[in-house]
Amino acid sequence: MGMVTVTGAIIILVGWFSLVEFDSFSESKRQQVIKKIKGSPAYILLIALMPLGIIINTLGSFFASIWMVIIGASLIFLQGIIVSLLFWNRKRWKSITLLVTIVLLGVFIYIPLFIR
């Protein structure tokens, strides 16, 4: 198995927690959630943070630009924090687990800034 980056770990955790939570809904609740997402630009932007972060992070790695990598990782980190806060009213223990994990992994994103 290959190396897993901190950003990759955040992507996996946020995606997994979101998918598990979405799968626990009934079919009618799923349709309500999808309708709510389609009708709200804020939710669409929230969902767009991860793909945008992945693209910027990948381009930063390709061009060896630490700032692009940090900006891309920050977008993914920001989405992880927002998603964990959205879980707060639904399942508090999942929210706390995700938030603490994302913050701990997020610390490692910003270590290169302090080393230089």
In a domain, 116, yes or no: no
- pLDDT tens readout for residues 30-77: 899 899 989 999 989 988 999 999 999 999 989 988 889 889 999 999
In a domain, 6, yes or no: no
In a domain, 2, yes or no: no
In the chain, how many domains are there?
A: 1
Domain span at 89: 13-111
Residue 22 has pLDDT above 90, yes or no: no
Mean of pLDDT values over 91-95 = 84
Q: End-to-end CA distance of the chain, in Å? A: 30
Q: Which of 8, 1, 6 lies closest to 54, judged by CA?
A: 8
In a domain, 8, yes or no: no
In a domain, 50, yes or no: yes
Q: What pLDDT is recorded for position 87?
A: 84
pTM attached to this predicted model: 0.85
Distances (CA, A) of 106 to 19, 25, 73, 80, 114: 21, 29, 9, 10, 13
In a domain, 60, yes or no: yes
Residue 113 has pLDDT above 80, yes or no: no
Q: What pLDDT is recorded for position 1?
A: 42
